[in-house]
Structure 1
Amino acid sequence: MNPKQIIIVGTIAIVITLSGGIWTDKANAGSKSPISPTQKVNIEVQDALLQLLGASSNDEVQEALYNGESLADIAKNNNRDVQHIIALQMAEMTEQLDSRLAQGSITLDQYQAQRSELAEIVTRSAYGLNGS
């Protein structure tokens, strides 16, 4: 696999995981807290991902992805189980799909189609495999 493809796929996976509630920020606009509930959840997810990867910072993960490693490679290099990373990403993406369905931004058919492909997409992404 081309290193650029690995970087793109890995980055997409991280962005999806870290931006779980980005579309709900308008609902939190009236919050008096400097950190909205969405940001707190994103920080917790980010911390969980770093912990599962065995990485100390986002920069460390981004550097590894830039150097052609996949999330699975990062986890393996840190004696971590990639299945936990896949489970975290599955949970986050499923939550996003559930939210989109509840908000009416996707139909039930779209939800079911996207949900049925989710495990394969997340797994391939974690291992740095492209769609071909």
Structure 2
Amino acid sequence: MNIKRVMIVGTMIVAMSFGGTAWGRTAALALPVAKWSTSTPVADKDELLDALNQSSEEELYESLYEGKSLKDIAAENGGNIDSVINLQIAQLTEQLDLRLASGSITAEQYTAQKAELRELVTQSVATTFG
């Protein structure tokens, strides 16, 4: 299990559940199921683990399983929650860019969704899933 992908999917689910006007019904129906690409090489170090100051995916998984939010984990371990937020925004922006390029969303949907990313991700890092 790749914890980074779990976190991205979790963030996307939270983002969609908070749903502002830009994530409305019309846009949601037009969005295809996310597909993961393995064409991007995996970095030697895990940026999410570094930002949260976690030594392993297992340690992060256990903290999440205990019901802690990413914000809680970063605070307890001297991590940098702003780096976590920026990392998730960058990853979600990349996905939006790909969806715009493939034609699965319109330029208006892209602009509206991108404008809400920071707020949604900031809310999601404080959300617990336990």
| Deviation per residue, 1:2-52 (Å, 9 max, x gap) | xxxxxxxxx9871349xxxx8364xxxxxxxxxx542x2xx3297011111
TM-score using structure 1 length: 0.66
SS at 2:46's partner residue? helix
Distance 2:35 2:60 in 1: 24
* Equivalence for 1:77: 76
* Length-normalised TM-score, structure 2: 0.67
Partner of 1:120: 119
Q: Deviations over 1:82-120 (max 9, x none)?
A: 011101111111111011101111111111121121111
Q: 1:115 to 1:13 in 2, by over 3 A?
A: farther
- Match of 1:23? 35
Task: Give every structure 1 segment of 4 or more consecutive aligned residues whose post-TM-superposition deviation is greater than 2 Å.
Answer: 22-25, 43-46
Residue equivalent to 2:58: 59
Partner of 2:48: 49
The alignment's C-alpha RMSD in Å is 2.8
The one-letter code sitting in structure 2 at the alignment partner of 1:99 is L
Q: Percent identity?
A: 43
For structure 2, list consecutive stretches of 5 or more residues without a partner in the other structure.
11-33
Contact kept, 8 Å, 1:16 with 1:93, in 2: the verdict is: no
Q: Is residue 13–residue 126 contact of structure 1 (8 Å, CA) maintained in 2?
A: no
Aligned equivalents of 2:5 and 2:35: distance in 1?
A: 16
